[in-house]
Amino acid sequence: MGAIGSFVAGAALAQGTAPRTVRLGYQKSSTLIAVLRLQGSLEQRLAPLGVKLSWHEFTSGLPLLEALNLDNIDLSADVADTVPVFAQAAGAQLTFVAQEAPSPTAQAILVRADSPLKSVADLKGKRVGFSKAAGVHYLLLAALEKAGLSFADIDPAYLTPADGRAAFERGSLDAWVVWDPFLSAAQKQAGARVLADGTGLASYQRYYLASTRFAQARPDVLGVLYAELEKAGRWVKGNPREAAALLAPFWGLDAAIIEQANARRSYAVRAVTPQNLSEQQKIADAFFAEKLLPRRLNALDVALYQPGA
């Protein structure tokens, strides 16, 4: 087991001036953060602490955690389980704040409706698009391994979700690996067909993180964020139509697409423990074996926030 540290809600602030402006990075697919932003509840809860919030959007998880590592943001909204592994390899000092329970069907390998490809084994020699270091990157590795292939057997194309969708629709890709809500949008708008999803391959757990520097300085902010995420997760699952209607103009998608996407995500926010980080080591080992990480990692060599302790 790794050198796991912990930060406890309500702990004394680190010496020096605690940050008063919190820089929060997120992706378009950061559902619960989008809900909190649209409802204004997170800012309302932080105001009594004398904290202002600034919002910073990123195209995918890897640049988001690169910004966290470079101290350009303080908090990261949810990123897929694969992303922190790459951040650790880059030397990032991460504190895991919260985890969303598995949502394996919320990411998938897609082909066009008229594609001759019928199985993952058919991807040999084909051009496959996906976002580097995203959860879909690991899903692809796991699916290829199960089909008796390696990463070297495909022609990879590292693309943002927007660029991937465009390349997929114009036929520049044989397959596209993507997550919700982009997955549901491609199915409903472009008639994309699922070749394989994460069932039995990749749990697809999403993590909320902080730089360890910020976690030590503002555990009170982490406590507020954790509580609001829990609340938002329950609201989205308990009010699917209302949530879809709220997010539709923000995402620029039909509410029906969003409702389908949200049905696949657990949005069950929970504390991060060594036990539910177990798949992280498997992910790290898979990327190292494919020479996609520069060194072998101990995936548990991170700090874990303990809400309410």
For the chain, domain boundaries: 5-102+205-306, 104-197
Provide the pLDDT confidence category of residue 124 given band limits of 50, 70 and 90. very high
Classify 220 as helix, strand or coil: helix
Taking alpha carbons only, the member of 221, 206, 216, 220 closest to residue 277 is: 206
Q: Which two tokens stand for residue 200?
A: 């039995």
Spatial contact of 143 and 302, defined as CB atoms under 8 Å apart:
no
Q: Which two tokens stand for residue 32?
A: 């619960």
The average pLDDT across 133-159 equals: 96
Instruction: Please report the pLDDT score of residue 28 as a whole number.
Output: 86
The average pLDDT across 285-303 equals: 91
Cα–chain center distance at 76: 10
Terminal alpha carbon distance of the chain: 22
Angle at 174 (CA atoms; ends 170, 175), nearest 5 degrees: 100
Q: What is the CA radius of gyration of the chain?
A: 19
Taking alpha carbons only, the member of 200, 140, 222 closest to residue 174 is: 140
Q: Which fold has domain 5-102+205-306?
A: D-Maltodextrin-Binding Protein; domain 2 (3.40.190)
What percent of the chain is predicted at pLDDT more than 70? 94
| Cα separation, 246 vs 255, whole angstroms | 9
Indicate the helix (H) or strand (E) that contains 80: strand 75-80
Instruction: Please report the pLDDT score of residue 143 as a whole number.
Output: 98
**What dotted CATH number matches 104-197?**
3.40.190.10
What Å distances lie between residue 233 and 205, 259, 296, CA to CA?
14, 14, 34
Instruction: Please report the pLDDT score of residue 6 as a whole number.
Output: 52
Provide the pLDDT confidence category of residue 232 given band limits of 50, 70 and 90. very high
Instruction: Please report the pLDDT score of residue 8 as a whole number.
Output: 45
Classify 155 as helix, strand or coil: strand
pLDDT of 182 over the 50 cut? yes
| Cα separation, 302 vs 309, whole angstroms | 18
User: What pLDDT digit, counting tens, does each position of 97-111 carry?
Assistant: 999 999 999 999 999
| Cα separation, 140 vs 48, whole angstroms | 45
pLDDT of 210 over the 60 cut? yes
Instruction: Please report the pLDDT score of residue 18 as a whole number.
Output: 65
Classify 227 as helix, strand or coil: helix
User: In this structure, what DSSP letter does residue 211 have?
Assistant: E
Provide the pLDDT confidence category of residue 213 given band limits of 50, 70 and 90. very high
The average pLDDT across 151-168 equals: 96
Q: Considering the chain, what is the average pLDDT of its residues?
A: 92
| Cα separation, 22 vs 188, whole angstroms | 37
- Asked if 5-102+205-306 and 104-197 have one fold, the answer is yes
Instruction: Please report the pLDDT score of residue 167 as a whole number.
Output: 97
Q: What is the pTM of this model?
A: 0.90
